[in-house]
Amino acid sequence: MRKVAIVGAGMTKFVRRALETPKELAHQAAKAALDSCKLSLDDIDCVVHGTAPDAFDGVHMNGEYLSDASGGYRKPYMRSYVGGGTGVFAPIHGWYHVASGMFDSCLVVCEEKMSPCRPHPQSAFISIFDHTTERPLGPNLIWIFALEMNRYITTHGISLEEVAAVAVKNKKNALGNPYAMLGEDLTVKNILSSEVLAWPVHRLMVSPVTDGASAVVLMSEEKAKKLTKKPVWIDGVGWSLDSSYWTNRDLYYPRYVEAAARMAYKMAGITEPRKEINIAEPYDPFAYKELHHLEGLQLCKKGEAAKMTASGVTQINGDLPVCPSGGLLGVGNPIAAAGLMKICDLFWQLRHEATGHQVPGNPKRAVAQAWGDLMQVGTVVTLKVD
C-alpha cells in the first residue's frame, strides 16, 4: 500500500435551517478544500461522497443528486455511507482508492441538510430495525440512547454530573471554532437543568440536527510532497460492524469501536495509544458517548473515562485534548459531515492552523472516530505529521 496524505481541508459553518441548498453546501466545502491547497477539480482523479441514509436529507438517491456539486461530474465517483460512521468511513474509502495505486488524488466530500427535512430524520429509525423482534417496541433514537447511557453509567457508577461535564467542556471549546454553532460557556448545573428527553438524557447532552458540509483532499506520497511541506498522513484506518440486533448486545461497552481502533492502531504501529496519541476526536452526539468511545478507543480503561475528564486530562490544554473542535455537542451534527469535520479539525490542529482553538504544544499524532449505522459500526482514522 502507498502512503496517503491529506493536503487540503474545508467546510461550511454548521447551522440550522441553512439558506443554501444541499448542492450549494457540498460545493462550498469542496471548493474550500481545493482552494486551501491551491488545486482545482482538474487536479482530482476521483471523488468519494459521504451522506447518511437518504431519509436524513429527505432526498432519495442523495449521492447521485449531490454528485456534480461534489465535483464528481464525469469523474470516477462513489458514495458510501454507514449512518453516523460515514464521516470517518468516507475518507477511509478515499484512502484505499489512493493507497491501492488506482488514483493519485481523491476529493472526499460529506454533506447533510437535515433541519428542514420532513418527516423528521429520526423517523428513519422506526424502519431500520428487525421487523419482528425490535420494531414492535417502537424504538426511537432518544430512548435507545437513554437505554445505553443508563446501562453505561450504572455499570460503572458514573454520576450525571460527570456526564454533563463533557457537554460543558465541548461547548466551551466550540467558542473558539469559527465553524461552530453551539459554543456556550455553561455549567454542569445548566446542563442538568435542561429538559429531560428520556431519562437520563437531558436536552443539553444532545447534539441537534444540523446542516453543513466538510471536505478533504487526499494525495499520494509522491504528489503530496511536491505540493506541500506540511502533509498530514493517514497512517491507520479501521472499521468494524457488530450485530445489528441492539437488543442482543451488552450496551455498556462499544466492542465495535475497540475492533476498529485495534485495526487502525496495528496499521499505524501504535502499541500504547494513551502514550502515543496527542489529540482525540471521538464521536460525541450525546455527552456520554464521548466517555463510551474513549474507552473503546483504548485511551483509558473501561469505566475510567469520566474520572479522566474530571481530572482535566481531556481539556484543550490537558495532557490528552479531547474534542478541541467542540465536537458534535459544540459544533453541530449534520450526520455525515460531522465525522469529516473531526478529520478537518485534526488536519488543522496537526498543522498548527486551528485558529481560535489550537491545542498547545507540538502534537504529532491524532485519532478520529465515528459511530452509527444501526448503532453497531465503528470507524477510526489515525493521523500523524513527520
The total of other beta-carbon atoms located within 10 Å of residue 83's CB is 22
Taking the C-alpha atoms of residue 35 and residue 283, their distance in angstroms, rounded to an integer, is: 27
CB 383 within 8 A of CB 234: yes
The reported pLDDT for the residue numbered 116 is: 82
SS3 275: helix
SS (H, E, C) 34-89: HHHCCCCHHHCCEEEEECCCHHHHCCCCHHHHCCCCCCCCCCCEEEECECECHHHH
pLDDT of residue 185: 98
pLDDT in tens, the chain (386 residues): 999 999 999 999 999 999 999 999 999 999 999 999 999 999 999 999 999 888 888 888 888 899 999 999 999 999 988 989 999 999 999 999 999 999 999 999 999 998 887 877 777 777 777 888 888 887 778 888 999 999 999 999 999 999 999 999 999 999 999 999 999 999 999 999 999 999 999 999 999 889 999 999 999 999 999 999 999 999 999 999 998 888 888 999 999 999 999 999 999 999 999 999 999 999 999 999 999 999 999 999 999 999 999 999 999 999 999 999 999 999 999 999 999 999 999 999 999 999 999 999 999 999 999 998 778 899 999 999 99
Measured between alpha carbons, how far is 263 from 166 in angstroms, rounded to an integer?
27
pLDDT value, residue 200? 97
Contacts of 321 (CB under 8 A, 6+ apart): 278, 279, 280, 314, 315, 359
| Residue 96 CB neighbours (<10 A) | 14
Output the CA torsion sign for 148, 151, 153, 155: negative
Would you tell me how many other CB atoms lie within 10 Å of the CB of residue 178? 10
Coil vs helix vs strand at 380: strand
d(CA 228, CA 261): 29
pTM of the model: 0.96
The per-residue pLDDT for 119 is 78
Name which of 288, 289, 305, 293 is nearest 258 in CA terms: 293
The number of beta carbons lying within 10 Å of the beta carbon of residue 253 is 18
pLDDT of residue 373: 76
